[in-house]
Amino acid sequence: MLKDIQVTGKKDTRSGFGDGMTELGRTNPNVVALTADLAGSLKLNTFIKENPDRFIQCGIAEANMIGVAAGLTIGGKIPFTTTFANFSTGRVYDQIRQSVAYSEKNVKICASHAGLTLGEDGATHQILEDIGMMKMLPGMTVIVPCDYEQTRKATLAIADFKGPVYLRFGRPVWPIFTEGMPFEIGKAQVFSEGTDVSIFACGHMVWNAIEAGRILEEKGLSVEVINIHTIKPLDEAAILKSLAKTRCAVTVEEHNILGGLGESVARVAAANQPTPIETIGTNDTFGESGTPMQLLEKYGLGTQNIVAAAERVMKRKQK
In three-state form (DSSP H/G/I as H, E/B as E, the rest C), the secondary structure along 243-296 is HHHHCCEEEEEEEECCCCHHHHHHHHHHHHCCCCEEEEEECCCCCCCCCHHHHH
Compute the half-sphere exposure of residue 303: CA atoms within 13 Å on the CB side of its CA. 10
Q: Can you tell me the distance from the alpha carbon of 118 to that of 125, in angstroms, rounded to the nearest whole number?
A: 8
Does residue 92 sit in helix, strand or coil? helix
Are 49 and 77 in contact by the 8 Å Cβ rule? The answer is: no
> Do you know the residue count of the chain?
319
What is the arrangement of strands in the sheet containing 249-256, beginning at the earlier edge strand? 189-192, 223-227, 197-201, 249-256, 277-282
As a whole number of angstroms, the distance between CA 194 and CA 313 comes to: 15
DSSP assignments along 143-204, one per residue: E---SHHHHHHHHHHHHHS-S-EEEE--SSEEEE--TT----TT--EEEE--SSEEEEE-TT
Catalytic residue list contains 254: no
Give the burial string for 40-67 (b: 16+ CB within 10 Å, else e): ebbbbeebbeebeebbbebeeebbebbb
What is the distance between the alpha carbons of residues 66 and 166, in angstroms, rounded to a whole number? 12
Of 62, 149, 211, 217, which residue is the catalytic one? 62
The residues carrying an active-site annotation are: 62
